[in-house]
Amino acid sequence: MSAPLAYLRLVKAGFVLAREGVFSLLPREDAPLAVRFGLWCADRITQKGVDNKSKGERLNAALNRLGPSYIKLGQFLATRPDIVGPDIAEGLGKLRDDVPPFPDATARQIITANLNRSVDVLYTSFSAPIAAASIAQVHKATIADGDTEKTVAVKVLRPDVRMRFQKDLESFYAAARLVQTLDPSSRRLRPVAVVDTLARSVTMEMDLRIEAAALSEMSEIAQDDPLFAVPSIDWDRTGRDVLTIDWVDGLKMADLDGLEKAGHDKSALATNLIQIFLRHALNHGFFHADMHQGNMFVDAQSRIVAIDFGIMGRIGPKERKFLAEILYGFIKRDYLRIAEVHFEAGYVPATQSVEDFAQALRAVGEPIHGQSAQDISMAKLLGLLFEITELFDMQTRTELLMLQKTMVVVEGVSRSLDSNFDMWSAAEPVLRDWLTDNLGPGAKLEQAANGLSSIGRLLNELPQLADRAAHASKALDDMALAGLRLDDASLARLAHYQARENRTSRIALVVMAVSAAAVALAYVF
């Protein structure tokens, strides 16, 4: 898509957002003059009645009007409260796909094209769509399983969703570049890099084989867990645009009355949910990153069964240690240790004061500890943490944002199950066990043994390393004596590359100039 078209699509999106009163949610006191003027203009075209709507309702209405790509953008920005602010992130976190299904005949064509067999051959029965979202929709089907039939769920990707997302993506990039131009301070948050991350995430989500692989990996983690389960994959009936898994028999976690009538202990489910999430994140560095009520079921054995593995999160060993120590530090009110962990991880520049940062953390933690258990909110804690990061020049940690957002969602689900849910009490045993296993005396002995093993491997490789070093030293001595020589072919290639680079630079300047003129004309007309 050309730059002018991208900007025109962006203007259209801005009009829809303004009409739904979304821009009125943005803070203005510290915004640059150009941004304040734009927000003032947006207020002039806001439709009547939006003041009676909550933030979540306004965002839902606007993004659903704009279509699947913008729904995904909203869900993604819910993971970035550092950019949109904790309040708007919370509203975006409630965004759920509300998209009409596409025709059953189209779904059958997609399945046939992907699996090279007709639906009637693959399945003994195939229903109309039972659920539809921005990326795909789900059908209920049955397959022959020996002398019986097995019920399965068939997820089918929307037609042309990749093409539509690619078009909207150009508008997202245009918006990111515009934000950076109008508000230079936003460059710390790297808006263009944010769009890059969104593009990678959705590209993976639009290949259902990748989702199947994530589900398969999670099933290995869950196989010995009596409290958690995932459906099995039918690989023979799975392709890029089709995913077939076992049908989940259970109650949705959103069905609170149904859970109570079925005799499930909702308080135990609330505790199990947060502990399952933390065990996955800390022990395996791999977790379901979209754990809202619609993706969680409870089966007859009171196990939590997860579906929809399109959005997954990963964190490395360093981030796991950081997470465990930070949360445990808040539980124990050890603010100096929390500050030290930030500095040890390199998340706060060494030029800052550890003691001052600990004081700021105390300002975050103490008001929360002064509240009753049901009022202690992880969402509130994270919101306050984001407020102090800029004071200490702390860079955004993108690898932790998905985890933090998921934790807030999980907390919300747990509170819906038990209004008196104490997240800190539920989390403490998992955090304590992980810290004991990974940072206690036994773990240090294991780390020492691993270190000795590494030293042993290095000693074994010393003769080869010494030999390579001797060769490199001799080559440098020869070069110093004889000088660096290039043959005629090498010189010719260097001249060719230099000439091509000069031509490319001139072409780039011309393209930039033409694009700037086109954008100017688009604004004029």
Residues noted as catalytic: 290
Backbone phi and psi for residue 158, each to the nearest 5 degrees, phi listed first? -65, 145
Within 8 A by CB and 6+ apart from 158, the residues are 68, 102, 134, 135, 136, 137
* Residue that has been written with the tokens 């959005």 in this structure: 311
- Bridge-based pairing of strands 242-246 and 286-288 is unpaired
CB 327 within 8 A of CB 431: yes
| Residue 397: how many other CB atoms lie within 10 Å | 17
Burial of 461 (0-12, 13-18, 19+ CB in 10 A): exposed
Helices in 235-316 by DSSP H: which ranges?
Answer: 256-261, 266-279
- Bridge-based pairing of strands 251-252 and 242-246 is unpaired
- Give Cα 524 to chain centroid, integer Å: 38
> Which amino acid is residue 467, in one-letter code?
D
Burial of 54 (0-12, 13-18, 19+ CB in 10 A): exposed
Beta bridge partners of 145: 148
Beta bridge partners of 288: 312
Taking the CA atoms of residue 416, residue 421, residue 426 and residue 427 in that order, the dihedral angle to the nearest 10 degrees is 70
Rounded to whole angstroms, the Cα distance separating 36 from 365 reads: 34
Q: Among residues 139, 371, 362, which one has the least CA distance to residue 243? A: 139
- Bridge-based pairing of strands 304-306 and 296-298 is antiparallel
Q: Among residues 112, 131, 110, which one has the least CA distance to residue 122? A: 112
Element (H, E) at 246: strand 242-246
Backbone phi and psi for residue 287, each to the nearest 5 degrees, phi listed first? -150, 155
CB 68 within 8 A of CB 99: yes
Q: Among residues 132, 328, 288, 306, which one has the least CA distance to residue 232? A: 306
Element (H, E) at 113: helix 104-115
> Which amino acid is residue 34, in one-letter code?
A
Q: Which residues of 93-131 are buried (b: 16+ CB within 10 A; e: fewer)?
A: bbbebebebbebeebbebbbebbeeebeebbeebeebee
* Residue that has been written with the tokens 């203007």 in this structure: 11
